[in-house]
Structure 1
């Protein structure tokens, strides 16, 4: 492994994120990064909050740049890759890594929107966001933040992604400057380094600063979020609190959990499936109990009543199982696993 000299000045930060299919995409990007890349690279993937991750080791073996698991307070250096760890947002402030236990976003910590917003706030036109393979739409609002602060946004070509929904959603939202296959991202980044900043109009949206602050807070920190927007009529899947409408299709609760409309819908699908499974268990137990009572009945009338109840329950159980099979088939492809 060749270690790039840290004597060169930091020209900017590249934030790269993915979800389903992201390990392969991140590895292919890492393999194509040049040894003299003048940027620090932050990589995040939707990771389970519990348990260890070997993502940093995978990325380190994939290409010429050294990759390490991100550590809170580490100074950003050019030509190095800092990889997100489970259960923490990967953020940056004052040219240092911030690992935050702040509110999850669309059910994820680390979240791509939080990462992209953070580099947008910290590096402005020297920030580059790259969105890779994945489902749903985490990262789309973050790319918009990078563009608003004068940075540059890229996404993996949908045809090159194992799961095309995430880059396709970014393209539909109009927040992508350029697409490329994962293996060519290194060459694109070097071209950007030679060219300089994108020249996008720079925004000073105070709300972007607030959202970055929310991501950096500790759990249950006191946040004045009443002014974010009107009540949405929906509840937060994380805490069951009321969600406020921050923007069209984007919500936050009073604790700070953030949800896009697509992610919220997916969470409701999982809740419905969970409730249906509980109903299956209850119906199975009801049927067994009714059959048991019918077998112990002392009269034909009582036996027939319990047998009829069991038959009715088993009919409902068959219908419910069929409905669950359909629901799983319809929503399984949109689950990060």
Structure 2
């Protein structure tokens, strides 16, 4: 990912499933306190578990990590975690939650987050797909690509399960395949002094 790409990023959307909690803990705990973008996260997790997960990440991090409530205001430097059993979508200044039907047998679904964030942020969105089983996220990454955003997939070596990142790579919608450590370095560059 070039300096030019990093300079234009205004938001990050991350999707994860199996193996995601520890990958996210690694990434979020290393974020700089002067992070200058909002980060939206869908982690496939049942209702109830996301509350303690968000609290754990918040404790381990220099930035504010919150479990999303419907109509929550988007703020730079915050990490927003989708609650279990709700789809999370991004609007211009707010985050919406809904309980429409599951997609790929999951709710929250990564595709809904990626597509909605891409409609709002266009070429200024960074999409990241982490370890996980299944195909969720590939369709949304396709939308991000069409709208000029930048997509990163976690590499097979550092993934617990390469299903979600592997599927996105196979579809040809990924710009960079990076290790967790390399993804962390990219996120750490998204500060006020870009």
Measured against the shorter chain, the TM-score band is 0.7 to 0.9
Contact 2:54 2:81 in 1 (8 A): yes
Q: Partner of 1:211 in structure 2?
A: none
Contact 2:32 2:63 in 1 (8 A): yes
Q: Greater Rg, structure 1 or structure 2?
A: 1
Question: 1:135-186: per-residue Cα shift (whole Å, max 9, x none)?
Answer: 1111011111111111111111110011122211111111111122223323
Q: Partner of 1:111 in structure 2?
A: 109
Question: 1:56-115: per-residue Cα shift (whole Å, max 9, x none)?
Answer: 012213322110111111111111101110111111112211111122211111000111
Q: Partner of 2:120 in structure 1?
A: 122
Greater RCO structure (CA 8 Å; 6+ sep): 2
1:155-166 equivalent positions in 2, closer than 5 A: 155-166=153-164
Report the Cα distance in structure 2 between the residues aligned to 1:122 and 1:15, rounded to whole angstroms.
12
Classify 1:52/1:77 alpha carbon distance in 2 versus 1 (closer, same or farther; 3 Å). same
> Which stretches in structure 2 are left out of the alignment for 5+ residues?
1-8
Q: Which has the larger helix fraction? A: 1
Are residue 135 (structure 1) and residue 129 (structure 2) matched?
no
Question: 1:11-36: per-residue Cα shift (whole Å, max 9, x none)?
Answer: 62211110011101111111222222
Q: How many residues align?
A: 185
Say which SS state the counterpart of residue 133 (structure 2) adopts.
coil
Q: Which has the larger strand fraction? A: 2
Report the Cα distance in structure 2 between the residues aligned to 1:165 and 1:101, rounded to whole angstroms.
25
Q: Partner of 1:35 in structure 2?
A: 33
- TM-score scaled to structure 2, two decimals? 0.87
- TM-score scaled to structure 1, two decimals? 0.52
Say which SS state the counterpart of residue 17 (structure 1) adopts.
strand
> Which stretches in structure 1 are left out of the alignment for 5+ residues?
1-10, 197-337
1:1-337 equivalent positions in 2, closer than 5 A: 12-48=10-46, 50-53=47-50, 54-191=52-189
Say which SS state the counterpart of residue 177 (structure 2) adopts.
strand
Q: Partner of 2:3 in structure 1?
A: none
Task: Give the superposed CA RMSD.
Answer: 2.0
Contact 1:34 1:186 in 2 (8 A): no
